[in-house]
Amino acid sequence: MAGLPPKVYQSYTLPQPETGTLRKSLNYKEYDIVMAPRVAIVFYSLYGHLQKLAEAEQIGLQKVGIKADIFQIAETLPADVLVKMRAGPKSEYPIAEATALEQYDAFLFGIPTRFGNFPAQWKAFWDATSHQWSSGGYWGKYAGLFIGTATQGGGQETTAIAAMSTLVHHGMVYVPLGYKTTFDLQSGLSEARGGSPWGAGTYSGIDGSRLPSQLELDMAVTQGESFGKTISKVTFA
């Protein structure tokens, strides 16, 4: 994978005091101010729904001046099984590599539910991150979630709760969507929609034929925007 562009820095040097033990003891040195957090949106998608949400999240981040990179989780199922499952074609997004992701400050993870939990493809990714787990490669990074299920009640919240254990073991800081920025979208009962205070979401329908609705896409854009605002308050080392 090509290297990331360097972080945008605005550097300044505090004036060195000429005398005075108190001021000397403050250990003046050059400080760097990070101008924009680096965000990776990482999704797995078999039928395209999570990809659409990932792209909506990216638009939301762009609205607050953050240019996020999108990655997809590697497939682990054999080709003949994918044919039987009527999986769609894979997108062109680069495959997420555990080491390359260490360069980012924050993540939005897109998870299509499997029995109320991560799919095996996502789990295979996490199971290859023991180096990051032991070295703290993701420690202190911020993370939000967006989730797909086939049905209402199919497990969007349980998938988010199940993901907490992985975030906690890596020392990542979970940023929920909450209600504040999407209150109207979440409180309406006029149409079926995915998404919850845990993160944006979509229903694919039992045969995968339902596409993300405008309301679900709006919620994902707003999540990208509010996530961007939250992490912009943080100074990442």
Outline where the chain has alpha helix (H).
21-25, 49-63, 79-84, 120-127, 130-135, 156-170, 183-187, 214-232
Q: Which residue has the tokens 């029995």?
A: 115
Contact between 121 and ligand FMN by CB under 6 A: the answer reads no
| Residue nearer to ligand FMN on the CB measure, 1 or 85 | 85
Specify the stretch interacting with ligand FMN by CB under 6 A; choose among 14-22, 34-42, 147-155, 179-187.
Answer: 147-155
Return d(Cα 99, Cα 93) in angstroms, integer.
Answer: 17
- Residues 37, 144, 148, 228: which binds ligand FMN (CB under 6 A)? 148
Stretch of 7-15, 106-114, 127-135, 179-187 contacting ligand FMN, by CB under 6 A: 106-114
Question: 114: which strand partners?
Answer: 117
Q: Which tokens sit at 223? A: 């999540």
Sites for ligand FMN among residues 169-228 (CB under 6 A): 204, 208
77, 150, 162, 173: residue in contact with ligand FMN (rule CB under 6 A): 150
- Spell out the SS3 assignment of 170-224: HCCEECCCCCHHHHHHHHCCCCCCCCECCECEEECCCCCCCCCCHHHHHHHHHHH
- Residue 145 Cβ, how far from ligand FMN at the closest point, in Å? 13
Judged by CB under 6 A, the residue of 60, 112, 199, 224 near ligand FMN is: 112
Q: Cβ of residue 151: shortest distance to ligand FMN, in angstroms? A: 4
Number of residues in the chain = 237
Provide the token pair at 89.
């074609």
Under 8 Å between Cβ of 214 and 194 = no
| Closer by beta carbon to ligand FMN, 93 or else 138 | 93
Q: Residue 2 Cβ, how far from ligand FMN at the closest point, in Å?
A: 26
Q: How many residues bind ligand FMN (CB under 6 A)?
A: 19
Catalog residues that contact ligand FMN under the rule CB under 6 A: 45-50, 112-116, 148-151, 154-155, 204, 208
